[in-house]
Amino acid sequence: MLSPAAPALSAETLRADFPILGRTVYGRPLVYLDNAATTQKPQVVIDRVRRYYEHENANVHRGVHFLSGAATEAYEEARRAAQAFVGAAHAHEIVFTRGTTEAVNLVAYSFGEAFVGAGDEILVTELEHHANIVPWQMLATRTGATVRAIPMDDAGDLVLDGLDRLLTERTRIVAVTHTSNALGTVAPVEVIIEAAHARGIPVLVDAAQGAVHGPLDVRALGCDFLCFSGHKTYGPTGIGVLYGREDWLERMPPFLGGGDMIDTVSLTRGTTFAGLPAKFEAGTPHVAGAVGLHAALEYLGALGMDAVAAAEADVLGYAVARLAAVDGLRLVGTPRRRAGAVSFLLDGVHPYDAGTVLD
């Protein structure tokens, strides 16, 4: 049973918001548990994207005509919504990307170009998604830097005992997940940020999972960069958010070159770049994705991220307790703080077979 201190959110009401949950699969009502990979879309998001294409579609920032103005306004409103969602001080600290992966690559490339050289160190953790490992390894290969990692114990918690030794005078950036997609571990990012900042080292937080399970506040956290994906927060695919503190973004060179990110272009005298955030948004952006993400963030805002966190904690506690009671089932990871994801193994059963049968 769910606890009597029940969340204000009702599963029935929430289900009704998601049209796909009205369909059947194998002749039964759809049960969808793959939200760590991608979330389903509430009707308000689907309607908003459709309304954009039916009424507002045009290219942004470049036309003087009515629709270009409408599309630009919708796009910039989405940026202000993302700013409010993460608690950023300025809208120009929000850069739209294709998702978390592109956001991490942007920082690894651009921050790396300005601040990382041979012999420098980049600190990640053993909890990371590949998206927060590989771009740093690529940076290390380009520059001659080294990637080091904060270890994880059997419970799936980060081991911070050696943090003082892992943060050296050569560490240029720390990149850490907020919440693990595999084990659900909520990492002690506050502690890591404090230790890194004590040495003047900036921290990137991968909030691909963290953004959807509870309130986020980049200024309370004190992180220098934070990123998440629209499609994991009930918004469209192909849109994501990079928050970067103004003073870092100002000092970083552009990532991609092209239209919209330039101030003046000359084939003889070279090019000067636009200010923030345009400097990091080359080419026609995913306007429909941004307005769809805006609708998703409004949807979450109306539910209330504290209410979302409370409801999920309830369901998660229920899931963990019931799974732990299954004969031959071993939970992988028992982290101190957990959100969302649960991993388990069944004795003698290959995970592919278990997944296929459960599907």
What residue ranges bind ligand PMP (CB under 6 A)?
36-37, 99-101, 129, 131-132, 177, 181, 206, 208-209, 229
Closer residue to ligand PMP, CB minimum distance, 71 or 290: 290
Closer residue to ligand PMP, CB minimum distance, 7 or 289: 289
In the complex, the smallest distance separating the C-beta of residue 2 from ligand PMP, rounded to whole angstroms, is: 26
Task: Measure the CA–CA gap between 160 and 162, rounded to whole angstroms.
Answer: 5
Measured in degrees and rounded to the nearest 5, phi and psi for residue 335 equal: -65, 155
In the complex, the smallest distance separating the C-beta of residue 234 from ligand PMP, rounded to whole angstroms, is: 13
Angle ∠(190,195,197) on CA atoms, nearest 5: 90
Closer residue to ligand PMP, CB minimum distance, 71 or 124: 124
Closer residue to ligand PMP, CB minimum distance, 167 or 207: 207
In the complex, the smallest distance separating the C-beta of residue 17 from ligand PMP, rounded to whole angstroms, is: 22
In the complex, the smallest distance separating the C-beta of residue 267 from ligand PMP, rounded to whole angstroms, is: 35
Name the 3-class secondary structure at 70: helix
In the complex, the smallest distance separating the C-beta of residue 209 from ligand PMP, rounded to whole angstroms, is: 5
Closer residue to ligand PMP, CB minimum distance, 49 or 71: 49
User: With contact defined as beta carbons under 8 Å apart, do 283 and 258 qualify?
Assistant: yes
Number of Cβ within a 10 Å radius of residue 290: 28
Residues 6 or more apart whose Cβ sits within 8 Å of residue 33: none
Helix (H) / strand (E) containing 228: strand 225-229
In the complex, the smallest distance separating the C-beta of residue 219 from ligand PMP, rounded to whole angstroms, is: 22
In the complex, the smallest distance separating the C-beta of residue 107 from ligand PMP, rounded to whole angstroms, is: 13
Closer residue to ligand PMP, CB minimum distance, 71 or 242: 242
CB < 8 Å & 24+ apart, contacts of 334-338: 334/155, 334/156, 335/155, 335/156, 335/157, 335/180, 335/183, 335/184, 335/185, 335/186, 336/155, 336/157, 337/185, 337/186, 337/188, 338/183, 338/184, 338/185, 338/186
User: With contact defined as beta carbons under 8 Å apart, do 9 and 309 qualify?
Assistant: no
Classify residue 181 as exposed, middle or buried by CB count within 10 Å of its CB (0-12, 13-18, 19+): buried
Name the 3-class secondary structure at 244: strand
Closer residue to ligand PMP, CB minimum distance, 7 or 235: 235
Closer residue to ligand PMP, CB minimum distance, 102 or 120: 102
In the complex, the smallest distance separating the C-beta of residue 190 from ligand PMP, rounded to whole angstroms, is: 18
User: With contact defined as beta carbons under 8 Å apart, do 184 and 338 qualify?
Assistant: yes
